[in-house]
Amino acid sequence: MTAKRYTVDDSIKESQSQKRENRQFYVTFILMLVLTALSFVAVASEKIPSGFTIPFILLIAFILLVLQVVIFMHLNDKNTEFPTLFFFSGFFIAIITIATLMLLIWW
């Protein structure tokens, strides 16, 4: 292991940046709660037409996915190109799989 030794100075810098990070986590969490609530409200409310609801809840689901993956699962860190690439490739294949099964078996 060739990693450099960490000094006390580094630790202090780390803890400061961690505080900023922690705030980011709380904000994200609250945002996720709000978005989830919105999506339930959109469906529960009788007034909103389903032509709007479906794209709206799908959009929210996608935002929730990105928040969870990028902020909570740290895909914004350094050296996460391959996880990012593969996760979203998997997501892409998931979309075509679901679309196929929905569109191509009833005709």
Partner 1 sequence: MSTHAVKRTSVSLQQKPSFGSVLWDWLTTVDHKKIGIMYLAAGGFFFILGGLEALLMRLQLMYPENTLVSGTTFNELMTMHGTTMIFFAAMPILFGLINCIMPLQIGARDVAYPFMNALSFWLFLFGGILMNISWFLGSAPDAGWTSYVPLASQAPSGMDFYVLGLQVSGAGTLMSGINFMVTILTMRAPGMSLMRMPMFTWTTFIASALIVFAFPALTAGLFLLMFDRIFGAQFFDVAGGGNVIIWQHLFWIFGHPEVYILVLPAFGIISEVVSTFSKKRLFGYSSMVIATILIGFIGFMVWAHHMFAVGMGPIANALFSVATMAIAVPTGIKIFNWLLTMWGGRIRFTTAMLYCVGFIPSFVMGGVTGVMVAAAPADYQYHDTYFVVAHFHYTIVGGVVLGIMAALYYWWPKIFGKKLNETLGKWNFWLFLIGFHLTFFVQHLLGLMGMPRRVYTYLEGLGFETGNFISTIGAILMAVAALIFVINIIYTHTRVKEIAEADPWDGRTLEWATETPVPFYNFAQTPLVRGLDPLFIEKTQGDGKMKPAEPLGEIHMPSPSILPILLAFGIFIVGLGFCLHSFFDNKWISYFIVFIGTVFSLLMMMFHSIKEDHGYHIHPNDYTNKGVGM
Partner 2 sequence: MQSDQTGVLPPHPEKATLEGRNKILGLWFFIASDVVLFASLMGTHLALRGSTQGAPGPQELFHLEYVALMTFILLTSSMTSLLGIKAMQRYQFKQMQTWFWLTVLLGLSFLGLEIYEFYQFVIYHGLGFETNAFASSFYTLLGFHGAHVTFGILWVVTLLIRSRSQGITTYTAPKFYLFSLYWHFVDVVWVFVFTLVYLMGKVG
Interface positions with partner 2 (CB under 8 A): 1, 3, 5-8, 10-11, 14-15, 18, 21-22, 25, 29, 32-33, 36-37, 39-40, 43-44, 50, 53-54, 57-58, 60-61, 64-65, 68-69, 72-73, 82-83, 86-87, 89-91, 93-95, 97-102, 105-106
Location of structure tokens 């803890």: 15
Cα dist from 11 to 6, 14, 23, 37, 97, whole Å:
7, 5, 19, 39, 46
- Contact call for residue 12 and partner 1 (CB under 8 A): no
Task: Tell me 72's DSSP state.
Answer: I
Nearer to partner 2, 14 or 76 (CB): 14
- For 53, residues 6+ apart whose C-beta sits below 8 A from its C-beta are 42, 43
Pick from partner 2, partner 1, none: which does 107 bind, CB < 5 to 8 A by kind? Answer: partner 1
